[in-house]
Copies of this chain bind each other. A is one copy, B any other.
């Protein structure tokens, strides 16, 4: 048997289908008595509205497409959670497309052509599904200009950006500045930094925050304390060994992610340097494991949930033709644990 439609309701309640539609949507005043008859019929027939038909008629689906470059990468789940948070409150549904880039092309993001077709496909599917807008979640922050063409429907990027569209990023400069401030408050002045790959915007922004702190707090500036890492554990290990071999080693290290901190810990251990006794470390990302290492790692937590929330919020305004109010950049938050000690 067919599913029950408003036609069945109308029949049962002895009204027109228009009236049913009106009580369903509250679009027009309906006499209480009629209203009651309709409501009862709906109840009795266990009627469930068909959003597909509604969408076709209204030319609006209340569904947004979320393209994640890879859902298994650590930033995605919390961003999606933020999107859901707002979506729940505003009756917006999520059509999720997972590009699975990590599995399909590994880390080779420079080669845009390798995944352009996946991205284009995703957009195409979403467009066919008539989504009201799109959110694109990158695996790491980079310029995505020209990757896809949203064909005029609203789009917002996060963990990535283009030259023409809205994107949500957290404040990298502020984050590293705040990390530095914390270290300074703990009495450190000879502070080293291990960066991520320098072709990355966050790396550059964070370095900027580092310099600003060095200037503001009048710390000794020593180029030997600035090390270029590559986000991987091994570089943390290698560069820390170099740092510790310096005639005058740093008393603290700011690492641009938690993964490299794993290498820092290992190098310190092998050099017989205790953390946080003789060397302090502060990481970035607040990865789950940073709470499981010994010592537990103090780190700058990323506002992932908030980024997702802001992204869909911005998209929501775009969809409704409202001006997107200038949002404040979400900020990282210091997660204080045990890897930073006071300098003697």
Report the bound CA distance from A97 to B51 in whole Å. 16
Interface assignment of A55: CB less than 8 Å from any CB of chain B: yes
Least CB distance, A91 to chain B, in whole angstroms: 9
Q: B93, A95: Cβ atoms under 8 Å?
A: yes
Shortest beta-carbon distance from A230 to chain B in Å: 17
Cβ-defined contact, B81 with A71, below 8 A: yes
0 or 1 for each of A96-119: is its CB under 8 Å from B? (1 = yes): 111010010000000000000000
Instruction: Report if A84 contacts B (CB, 8 A).
Output: yes
Closest to A87 in B: B98
Across the interface, name the chain B residue whose C-beta is closest to A266.
Answer: B294
* Minimal beta-carbon separation of A69 from chain B (angstroms): 12
Report how many copies the assembly holds. 2
Contacts A94-B96, A95-B93 given; indicate if A124 touches B51 (C-beta within 8 A). Answer: no
> What is the distance, in angstroms, from A29's C-beta to the closest C-beta of chain B?
25
Nearest chain B CB to A76's CB is how many angstroms away? 7
Residues of B within 8 A of A96 (CB): 66, 80, 84, 94-96
Establish whether residues B52 and A129, one from each chain, have CB atoms under 8 Å apart when the complex forms: yes
With contact pairs A80-B98, A98-B81, A294-B266 given, residues A93 and B289 touching in the complex (Cβ less than 8 Å)? no
Q: Are B289 and A124 touching (Cβ within 8 A)?
A: no
Residues of B within 8 A of A129 (CB): 51-52, 63, 93
**Residue of B at shortest CB range from A70?**
B81
> Does A71 contact B98, Cβ atoms closer than 8 Å?
no
Q: Determine the distance from Cα of A55 to Cα of B85 in the docked complex, in whole angstroms.
A: 28
- Write out the residue numbers on chain B whose beta carbons fall within 8 Å of the beta carbon of A94: 95-98
Flag if B51 contacts A53 (CB, 8 Å): no
Which range contains the number of A residues in contact with the other chain?
A: 35 or more
Per-residue B-contact encoding for A30-43, CB less than 8 Å = 1, 0 else: 00000000000000
Contact of A48 among B76, B81, B127 (CB under 8 A): B127
A44 contacts chain B at the CB level, 8 A cutoff: no
Known: A93-B95, A262-B292. 8 other contacts (CB 8 A): A48-B124, A52-B129, A52-B130, A56-B56, A71-B81, A72-B81, A84-B100, A269-B294
Provide a sorted-by-A list of 15 A–B residue pairs whose CB atoms are within 8 angstroms. Answer: A48-B127, A50-B128, A52-B55, A52-B129, A53-B56, A71-B77, A71-B84, A72-B77, A76-B77, A88-B100, A93-B95, A95-B95, A233-B292, A287-B289, A292-B293
